[in-house]
Amino acid sequence: MNIIRVMRKKTESKLRLGADMLVSFSCGNFLSYDSIQTLSLAGGKKLRTKKEHLYYPKTSSAIFKTGVLKFAAVYGANSAGKSNFFKAMNVLRSYVLSGHIVQNSAELYCRIKDENKEKPSFFEICFLVDDVPYTYGLKVDMQKKLVVSEWLYFTKAEDKKYLFKKDSLESGIVFGSVLENCREIKVLANVFSGGESPFLYCMNHNTKSFYEKNENAVILRRIFEWFAKSFEVIYPDQPINDTALLDDSCSLKDYAELLKKFGTGIVEIKKEEVSEDKVKANLSFIDKTNLDFQMNMARTNSIISGQKSHWSAVIRNRANIFTIKLDASGNAKYYALKFVHQYGDEKVDYEMRRESDGTYRLFQLLDVLMTAKNKVFVIDEISRCMHPLLTIKFIETFFEVVKDRNVQLVVTTHETRLMSHKFLRRDEVWVCDSQADGSSKLSNFDEKQVRIDKVMDENYLEGNFGGVPRI
C-alpha cells in the first residue's frame, strides 16, 4: 500500500473543524531588518494554479477568499538575512512561552543606524485558530528588556476587534468588548503591569483557576497553546521532536517506508531495549539531571492523580536515537532505534551514527510528513546535507501528504529547481535581498509579476530577481 495513503487513513479522523495556520509574520529593527518586512502566506489574487496548495478558512472575512498557502520558500544569498527573519519568529515565540527575552537581546537591534539602539523592535504575527484570524504583536525595548506595547486582535467580517492592547510602556492593559466585563482579568492586568513579560505569557502562567471561572477569556489560553503546540521554528541542527510518533510501532513502520521511498537503503526500523546506563552515557550532566527531574515529576503526578503515567521522551543525537517510556508502575523502559539495511538475503542493523549525514537530516524532517496535527513548521536550511533531488522529492511528498490535512511548511533553501512552476506557485517563492545600506528586504515573485512560463530558476541565478551573491 502506498505510504501516503496509509498516513491519510491515520489522520482523516483527527482533523479539526478549523485550522491553526500561519497567515503572516512581520518584524522590524531586528538584526538585518531595519524597516518592517512581512512574509505573507495569503494566496495571490490573480493566481489560479495548484489550488490544492491552499487552505480556505471558513471565515466571513474577504481577505481570506484567496486562501492561505501551505508552503513558502525563502531564497537569498548567504548573509542576506533569511535566517535572521526566522530568528525573529523564534524570538517572539520563545518570549511568549517563557516570559523572558533572549539573553543577548541588547545586540539584536538593527545596527546599521545608531538611532535604532533607542528604538523598540517590532514583531507581529497573524494566524488562524480554529479558522478565526488573530493578530498578535509586540514592540520590545531590547536594551531594557521591556514590553513597550502589546496587542491582540481578532478579525470579524472586515473589522479588527481587539481582545486587549497596551499602547505604551506607561499605559495599562485595555480590554475589548469580549473581556471588558471580566473583573478578575483587570485585577491580573494590574498585577502584571511591570512590562518585563508579555501579558499573554502572564495570563498563562499559574492562572489555571482563572480560566475555570472565566470562560470568555479561555481564548487567551487557546492562543498561548497555538504558540506552544502549533508553531515550531527549527534550526539546521535541531530535530523535530514528536515523541508520540517515535514511540509508536505503526509509526515506525511508516517512517521506514518513507526512508525506503527516499532511497536511503533502510528497509525497517526496530526498537531494541537497552540499559539505563547506555542511554545516560550519551547525555551531559545537565541533560541527565533534567531527564531524572521530568521522570520523577511524571511519577509524582501519577500518584497524586491516581492515573497511569503516559510520560515518554525521545533523545536524539548524531550517534543514537533513544525512546524512554514509563510503564504503569512508574518504571522506566529504555529503547534504542536500529536502522535495518538489506544486502541480498542478509539484514544488518545500524545505529544512527553509521548512517549518512543526508539520511540523518532526512530523518530529522520526517515528522513534517508524519504529523496528524494542525501545525506550522518553519525550517531554516531545509536542504542542508541533502542531495538536491532528495530535497525536491521531500517537497513533492509534502504536497501529496497535505492534500487532506492542515500542515504548513515555511523554509529557507538554495535549491533553485523548486522555483519551477511545475512544483510551486509564484506566490510561494520569496526572495531576501541585502540592500546597499546593509538592511534586508523581502519580496515575493507574485509582486514581481514573474510570468508563470518564465524559466524562473535561470532568471533568478542571473540576478534578475535579486537575492543572489554579488560576485
Q: How confident is the model at residue 468 (pLDDT cuts 50, 70, 90)?
A: low
In angstroms, the CA 176 to CA 153 distance is 9
Q: How far apart are CA 36 and CA 114, in angstroms?
A: 17
Whether 421 shows a pLDDT value over 80: the answer reads: no
Cβ atoms of 190 and 172 closer than 8 Å: yes
Model pLDDT for residues 31-83, shown as the tens digit of each residue: 999 999 999 999 998 888 899 999 999 876 766 888 999 999 999 998 899 99
pTM: 0.88
**Which pLDDT band, with edges at 50, 70 and 90, does 88 fall under?**
very high
Q: What angle do CA 33, 37, 42 make, to 5 degrees?
A: 150
- Close Cβ partners of 94 (under 8 Å, ≥ 6 residues apart): 100, 102
C-alpha cell at 154: 481578532
CA atoms of 137 and 126, how far apart (whole Å): 9
* Arch. (CATH architecture) of 1-239+371-471: 3-Layer(aba) Sandwich (3.40)
Average pLDDT, the chain: 87
Q: Which position has the grid cell 503516559? A: 310
| Stretch among 16-20, 185-189, 323-327, 436-440 having the lowest mean pLDDT | 16-20
Q: What's the whole-number mean pLDDT along residues 233-246?
A: 71
Angle, alpha carbons 409-427-51 (nearest 5°):
75
pLDDT digits (tens, 9 = 90+) for 400-418: 988 888 899 999 999 888 8
* Domain range annotation of the chain: 1-239+371-471, 243-370
pLDDT of amino acid 129: 94
Q: Whose grid coordinates read 531545509?
A: 382
The secondary structure of residue 93, as a DSSP letter, is H
Mean pLDDT on 386-398: 92
Q: Distance between alpha carbon 392 and the CA centroid of its chain, in Å? A: 20
Q: Which three cell numbers stand for residue 335?
A: 529503547
Tell me what the mean pLDDT of segment 461-468 comes to: 64
Give the sign of the dihedral formed by CA 228, CA 229, CA 231, CA 232: positive
460 has a pLDDT exceeding 80 = no
| Residue 1, CB-side half-sphere exposure with 13 Å CA sphere | 9
Which pLDDT score, from 0 to 100, does residue 71 have?
Answer: 97
> How far is the C-alpha of 259 from the C-alpha of 363, rounded, in Å?
8
Q: DSSP of 197-242, one letter per residue?
A: S-HHHHTTSS-HHHHHH-GGGHHHHHHHHIIIIIEEEE-TT-----
On the 0-12 / 13-18 / 19+ scale of CB atoms within 10 A, 31 is: buried
Percent of the chain predicted with pLDDT > 70 = 88
All residues at 6 or more sequence positions from 336 whose CB lies less than 8 Å from its CB, including other chains? 271, 272, 274, 278, 279, 320, 321, 322, 351
340, 264 in Cβ contact below 8 A?
no
**Are the C-beta atoms of residues 53 and 131 closer than 8 Å to each other?**
no
What secondary structure does DSSP assign to 344-409, as a single string? Answer: TTEEEEE-GGGS-HHHHHHHHHTHHHH--S-EEEEETTTTTTS-HHHHHHHHHHHHHHGGGS-EEE
Per-residue exposure over 397-424, b if at least 16 CB sit within 10 Å of its own CB, e if not: bbbbbbeebbbbbbbbbbbbebbebebb
Which cell is 338 given?
536500529
Half-sphere exposure of 352 (CA within 13 A, CB side): 19
